[in-house]
Each structure stands twice: as structure tokens, then as C-alpha cells.
Amino acid sequence: MSRPAATQAPTSSDGAAAETPSKPGPPPGGRRADQPAAEVPNAGIDIAGIDVDRAAAVLTGVAQRTRVVRSAHLSRLTGVPVWCKCENEQRTASFKLRGAFTRIALADPKVRARGVVAASAGNHAQGVAYAAARFGVPATIFVPAGANPTKIARTRRFGAHVELVSGDVDAALLAAESAAHDLGGLLVHPFDDPIVIAGQGTIGLELIEQIPGLRTVLVGVGGGGLIAGIATALRQRRADVRVIGVQAAGAPAFVRSWRRGHRLWVPATTIADGMAVRSPGSLPLALAADLVDDMVTVDEEAFWEAMVMLAQGDGQTVEPAGAAGAAALLRHPGCAQGPTAVVLSGGNIDQATAGRVRALAAESLRTPAA
């Protein structure tokens, strides 16, 4: 099936034109500045193996069926109805609960009983901690030392043991893999796991039921588990719905890998800590190669503008990564075609970020419109 591209090309944070959006293909010849991580096939992934319906059954009574809210501002801006999917109102204030709980619930009980191990910048950590507590098993979460302190504190309140790691999420993942091997316990990967992806895909099932005539979904992307899950669910039920990924211009590993057709290691510097991943997951990228229609990047200021707009106009408290879809429509309104959903993926905002959002909102009220 031919899947249409977005109508407006993305730009980089310095205003320069970004690479032309397209489906991934063979990389051009010659050495690149980006460091290849590993080859990933662009086809041959059996999406029937991503059992979103089974995940939905597992999550019954655990994950909330989060509401959708019409965004008056984004609807006016784009000229089409735009709805916000409020995963920021989920238990643990993030979509990550869906995948983490599904993975732990479907694990071998003997392995699960030896303990659960994970790595995260904070939202996946809370999902894993919550799920482990529900099953009465210990959880150890490896978190970058510079992670959001609000997310760390909430993870500990769910009963998990938090190990701070020097470096970024990639360093935390290495530490978690080593600990799971030594423990013989269950490693719950934040995105590169088919069961985790299926859990995240339950959002797609809900969107189909909640938004009549849904045509476009915008999803923030880090390692890719969320967009892979939603795109899989939509392809299985509504293949006509367009799926567009959104990344920070300062952390574009997934979008660059998607365009080149294989995984790349790319530096990540962004206020959106939930998407500050230097290389995408192998399985999410392979799924996205077939299922994702387009990807765009947005500058750092767009995240702030989106958080302010969502707070003022829609009464939504979201963290930077959670505002990615709205930020994309502020910069690329042409991405919205027909009834559109933006996934507000998380609301675990730290005090400093929340304070700046309030200050920017107050400043905008004092400043007359041009």
C-alpha cells in the first residue's frame, strides 16, 4: 500500500531544511559522520507476532483507558479536528506502564520471582516499579545520575531500588543487562521487546474507538517502542491511518536511522529527556520501516511553546517529550490531515521545568498578540 508523506518538510533547529522525508532505503555511498550501529532489515517483520489484543486483555483493570480531549488551539491552527490522547493522566503519569506491566505479567513466573531489572530515564522506571509491586517481586532500576529527580523519587515510592549510573540511558541499559544476567532475573527493556511494544500498542486500539474517522496520529519517539506499538495496532485494524513520528532536533537518532535504513548512533542533547536516546531499538526501527508514514524533528523552543499552549488552552500538564506531537503541529501544521490525534505521552514534569512553563505562560498573557 502506498502511504502518503506529510505535506510540509521538517526543518532543523537552526532553521535549515532537514533531509527530505521518505521511506528508508539503501544508504548513499561514502563515509558518514553518523556512526552505524547495526544493519536492520526494512521488511520481513511479522506484525502478527506483536499481540496487541493479548496485551489489552492483560491490562484490563490495570492501565486506564485515558481520555481524548479536543484541542481548540491546534484545531484552529491546522484547520482539522485535533485530539489529545491524555497518557499524562495514566497511572504513573506515562504510557510506559502499559508495556512494562504487560512484559512482567507475561513473563515466566520463576524468572519474574528472581527479580525485575530495568533501565530508564524515569518514566519506564515508574512503570516497571508499579508492575513489580503488583506482582510482589523486587525491582532494581538503573537510572542516569542526572535524571529528573521527580521521576526518581516517584520510582522509589513505588518500592523499587534505584541505582544511579554515571552517563546516559545507554550506560544505564548496559548496567541493567549485566545485573539481570548476574541475578538471573527478568530484564524489562524500555522499547526493544515485542511484548513491551504490544503493550504500548493498546493506545492505538483505544484511539480507533475514541476518535471517529481518525486519519492521522502524531507520536513522540525516543527508542521507538511507542510508535512501533501504535503503528502495529493501527495497521492491524485501520491501515488507512497515517502515523507520524516526532523527535527533538537535538536527539534525532530514530529519524535519521529511519531515513537511512539502518541504526545509527547519534548524539542526544534535548530538554525532552524521555527521547534522549542515541540509537533506536532494532525491532522498533524494523517495524517503523514498514509502518510509519513520516517523521519530523522540532527545535527546543517548540517544546516550551507546546507545553505552555497545552497548559493554557487545554489544561494539560505535560513533560517536554509528552508535548512532542503538539510541538510538531506548531512547526508543521500540514502534518495534520483529517481528524488527528497527538499522544501526550507523559506528565512527569520536574519543578524547574514546571516553573519555567508557568513563567512563560504568565509572560504570554502580559504580551499583546502581534
* Tens of each residue's pLDDT in the chain, 370 residues: 333 333 333 333 333 333 333 333 333 222 233 444 444 333 456 787 899 999 999 999 999 999 999 999 999 999 999 999 999 999 999 999 999 999 999 999 999 999 999 999 899 999 999 999 999 999 999 999 988 888 999 999 999 999 999 988 889 999 999 999 998 999 999 999 999 999 999 999 999 999 999 999 999 999 999 999 999 999 999 999 999 999 999 999 999 999 999 999 999 999 999 999 999 999 999 999 999 999 999 999 999 999 999 999 888 999 999 999 999 999 999 999 999 999 999 999 999 999 999 999 888 777 655 4
- pTM for the structure as a whole: 0.88
CB distance 195 to 102 below 8 Å: yes
Dihedral-angle region of residue 115 (phi above 0 means left; psi in -120 to 50 means alpha; beta otherwise): left
237 with 52: CB under 8 angstroms?
A: no
So what's the pLDDT on residue 238?
A: 95
Q: Is 151 a catalytic residue?
A: no
Region of residue 15 (left: phi > 0; alpha: psi -120 to 50; beta: else):
left
Q: Is 345 a catalytic residue?
A: yes
Q: What is the dihedral of CA 76, 343, 244, 106, to 10 degrees?
A: -160
What does the alpha-carbon distance between residue 196 and residue 103 come to, in Å, rounded to a whole number?
A: 6
Predicted local distance difference test score (pLDDT) of residue 174: 93
pLDDT of residue 31: 26
Q: In what order do the strands lie in the sheet with 161-165?
A: 161-165, 139-144, 116-119, 186-187
Catalytic residue among 96, 120, 257, 282: 96
Q: How many CB atoms lie within 10 A of CB 225?
A: 31
Q: Specify the pLDDT at position 46.
A: 73
User: How far apart, in whole angstroms, are the C-alpha atoms of residue 330 and residue 152?
Assistant: 31
- Helix or strand (DSSP H, E) at 92: none
* Burial track 40-57 (b if 16+ CB lie within 10 A, e otherwise): bebeebebeebbbeebbe
Taking the C-alpha atoms of residue 318 and residue 258, their distance in angstroms, rounded to an integer, is: 27
Within 13 Å of residue 141, how many CA atoms lie on the same side as its CB?
33
pLDDT, position 45: 65
Instruction: Dig out the grid coordinates for 72 from the structure.
Output: 481548540
Contact of 257 with 263, CB cutoff 8 Å: yes
Contact indicator for 361, 312 with CB cutoff of 8 Å = yes
